[in-house]
Amino acid sequence: MPPPSLVNPRQVQRVQAATGNMADEQVPPFSIDKPRYDTSTYVGRWRKFAELVSPSWLFLSSEQIQHATQTLTDFRSGALVPGQFKDAELWKLRQAYESAVHPQTGETVPVAFRLSAFVPVNIPICVGMLLAPPTSYATATFVSCSTAVGLGKIVEKARGLSPGTRSFLGKGIDIMDEHGDVHGRSVAAGRQSLGQVALTRIALPMPILLLPPYLYEVMKKTKVMPKGKYPRLAAELGTSTRISQNAVALFPQIGTISADDVEEEFRSRVDRHGQPIRQFTYNKGI
């Protein structure tokens, strides 16, 4: 771990240049564990994911991601000099970290699979789905049956693939108390997590495919739709980008489960202060 003097503040400026600045008077005190917004409400979750879904995070370099990771590590260990970074700078670095690094493995997520890449990657797919010519019933039936048979073969070989879904259902997911201490892996929490993720995945394409056309009509009638090919394209892309988090924010990233709903072995656990644990938390993911 490098000493605090080796942390380069210029990296913070580069991150801010790529993602925008925040006024200090509007920023709460920085926390390494607690979210910036109240994620117990839909509005708070929406504001959190509205920042993470921004495609501007895709322009972060490996050096900037590494710097954000190291700075947050130094903050957690107490290696940073008090006052070395403003709260706004630390929140921005944490956003950069969360947008690019897997919370459990600590590995950098490939660019195409980050939340910030959802809109740029999926817009061409959605356009292709909408513009593709209708197919005949026989062709559609043949393709559907072929896909079903092919997926059946893949599922039969799923044991060799070891996907995360099988891990959640078979081994469970880590559950923690309010202090962040891990007490083991719960299958019940894993099932609850997968259910929430599945609902999010089902709802995710809906606002992107259904809401923009209505918003465009409103913009046309109110004469706020930019004229010209490229300004209009920018407005459409911007609108689509700001809609995707509506579905992502359905459930908090850090889920909760009652101690009565987990396995028997966890129901009588106590925290580090000897207090009975009434509720566990787990990282659902996005």
**Total domain count, the chain:** 3
Residues 275 and 213 in one domain: yes
pLDDT of residue 2: 36
- Which letter does DSSP use for residue 282 in this model? E
- Which letter does DSSP use for residue 40 in this model? T
- Residues spanned by the domain of 54: 4-118
State the pTM of this model: 0.64
- Is residue 75 domain-resident? yes
Residues 62 and 73 in one domain: yes
pLDDT of residue 146: 61
Residues 155 and 217 in one domain: no
* Short-list 96, 95, 97, 85, CA closest to 29: 85
Residues 141 and 196 in one domain: no
Residues 211 and 239 in one domain: yes
- Is residue 128 domain-resident? no
Residues 143 and 177 in one domain: no
Judge whether 118 and 49 are in contact, CB under 8 Å.
no
- Is residue 63 domain-resident? yes
Residues 190 and 213 in one domain: yes
- Is residue 123 domain-resident? no
Judge whether 253 and 285 are in contact, CB under 8 Å.
yes
The torsion defined by the Cα of 100, 101, 103 and 106, in degrees rounded to 10, comes to 180
pLDDT of residue 68: 93
3-state secondary structure of 244: coil
Residues 101 and 169 in one domain: no
Residues sharing a CB contact under 8 Å with residue 265, sequence separation 6 or more, in sequence order: 184
- Is residue 124 domain-resident? no
Residues 172 and 277 in one domain: yes
Segments in the chain below pLDDT 70: 1-25, 126-127, 129-170, 208, 236, 239-240, 286
Residues 16 and 112 in one domain: yes
Distance CA 238, CA 197 (A): 25
Amino acid at 145: C
Residues 158 and 169 in one domain: no
- Is residue 91 domain-resident? yes
Residues sharing a CB contact under 8 Å with residue 41, sequence separation 6 or more, in sequence order: none
Residues 108 and 196 in one domain: no
CA distances 60 to 55, 81, 104, 233, Å, are 10, 25, 21, 24
Specify the residue for token string 């240049």: 17
* Short-list 194, 24, 201, CA closest to 115: 201
- Report which secondary-structure segment, H or E, holds 186: strand 182-186
- Report which secondary-structure segment, H or E, holds 15: helix 9-19
